[in-house]
Amino acid sequence: MNAYFSALGRDAVIVPCHVAAEDLEEAIMGLRRMRNLDGIIVTVPHKEAVATLCDSLTEEARLVGAVNAIRRHPDGHLKGGQFDGEGFVAGLHKAGHSVAGRRVLMAGAGGAASGIGFALLRHGVAALTIYNRTADRAEALAQRLRDTYPAASISVTGPDPSGHDIVVNATSLGLRQDDPMPIDTQRLVPPMVAAEVVMQPEVTPFLTAAAQRGCATHGGYPMLAEQVALLAQFIAGEAD
């Protein structure tokens, strides 16, 4: 983001702020009062909680129920936006993996997964299957997606990726080396594409397992890289 600002000659900088979940509301109230703050980028685990703390939401953020960027207006009004899904799909497309007409299994039902689910359907996947360790959360997301895309093929399943073209880890599993696998990797077979949202480590255990099974892999970093311009433009008030 800072490299993007520098290339544009924009007098702006982004700095990290580490906020615990129990301090989130108070932190947002404080940031709201910072007059030289244009916006906030939001990441795990705050994307869904932050949506409830914004004064208004873009249509995408409202549908997804999660926010990964906030624009602060001069009067302190906070508007939340959601760009994870578009960034994820754009990253896949840039790597040569079209989603249109493909059958996708997505592990996860949180904020990032919700954004990705809406984006996948918007870009024409043939079928979207959701797996989450908490089945009720998977079904709740599936129903929200059906409400928006009633003609789409949307279902909830177990961790078996058989029968799918693209398998997405849209959970935080993989941030730690001792995390369990997000899906049953023993069932991955070529020409499946294994795609990840976790950026660190660059090659997660899920991607390693998929590569060992002969599948193409797609890391988490492109999802962020393809969002940079969208996030900067939203925060600057140049786009909604």
**What pLDDT sits at residue 179?**
95
Q: Is residue 66 part of a domain?
A: yes
- Considering the domain architecture, whether residues 79 and 92 belong to the same structural domain is answered as no
DSSP label at 56?
E
Q: Is residue 94 part of a domain?
A: yes
Element (H, E) at 21: none
Q: Residue 15 CB: number of other CB atoms within 10 A?
A: 5
Of the candidates 28, 38, 40, 47, the residue annotated as catalytic is: 47
Structural domains of the chain, count: 2
CATH number at residue 18: 3.40.50.10860
* Cβ partners under 8 Å of residue 165, min gap 6: 102, 103, 104, 191, 192, 193
pLDDT in tens, 145-190: 999 999 999 999 999 999 999 999 999 999 998 999 999 999 999 9
- 57 residue type, one letter: L
- Considering the domain architecture, whether residues 100 and 208 belong to the same structural domain is answered as yes
- Considering the domain architecture, whether residues 142 and 23 belong to the same structural domain is answered as no
- Considering the domain architecture, whether residues 49 and 103 belong to the same structural domain is answered as no
Residue 238 has pLDDT above 90, yes or no: no
- Considering the domain architecture, whether residues 124 and 61 belong to the same structural domain is answered as no
| 3-state DSSP assignment of residue 66 | coil
CA distance linking residue 220 with residue 12, whole number of Å? 26
- Considering the domain architecture, whether residues 59 and 69 belong to the same structural domain is answered as yes
Domain that holds residue 31: 2-83+226-235
* DSSP output for 112-157: HHHHHHHHHHHTT-SEEEEE-SSHHHHHHHHHHHHHH-TTS-EEE-
Of the CA atoms within 13 Å of residue 94, those in its CB half-sphere come to 15
Q: Is residue 158 part of a domain?
A: yes
- CB 112, CB 65: distance < 8 Å: no
Residue 239 has pLDDT above 80, yes or no: no
Nearest to 223 by CA among 59, 103, 43, 79: 43
- Considering the domain architecture, whether residues 110 and 133 belong to the same structural domain is answered as yes
Please, which residues bridge with residue 132 across strands?
none
Q: Is residue 240 part of a domain?
A: no
- Considering the domain architecture, whether residues 110 and 198 belong to the same structural domain is answered as yes
Token pair in block for residue 103: 């059958």
Mean pLDDT of the 77-97 span: 97
Residue 44 has pLDDT above 90, yes or no: no
Question: Tokens 């043939």 — which residue?
Answer: 126
CATH number at residue 183: 3.40.50.720
CA distance linking residue 129 with residue 141, whole number of Å? 11
- Considering the domain architecture, whether residues 56 and 135 belong to the same structural domain is answered as no
- 134 class by beta-carbon count within 10 Å (0-12 exposed, 13-18 middle, 19+ buried): exposed
- Percent pLDDT > 70 in the chain is 100
Q: How confident is the prediction for the chain on average, in pLDDT?
A: 96
- Considering the domain architecture, whether residues 104 and 199 belong to the same structural domain is answered as yes
Q: Is residue 143 part of a domain?
A: yes
Q: Is residue 153 part of a domain?
A: yes
- Considering the domain architecture, whether residues 147 and 160 belong to the same structural domain is answered as yes
CA distance linking residue 142 with residue 70, whole number of Å? 26
- Percent pLDDT > 90 in the chain is 95
In the structure, what pLDDT confidence band is assigned to residue 135 with cuts at 50, 70 and 90? very high
Answer yes or no: 79 catalytic: no
Residue 106 has pLDDT above 90, yes or no: yes
Helix then strand then coil, in percent of the chain rounded to 5, is 40, 15, 45
Determine the distance from the C-alpha atom of residue 49 to the mean position of all C-alpha atoms in its chain, rounded to a whole number: 15
Q: Is residue 179 part of a domain?
A: yes
- State whether the Cα torsion 181-184-190-195 is positive or negative: negative
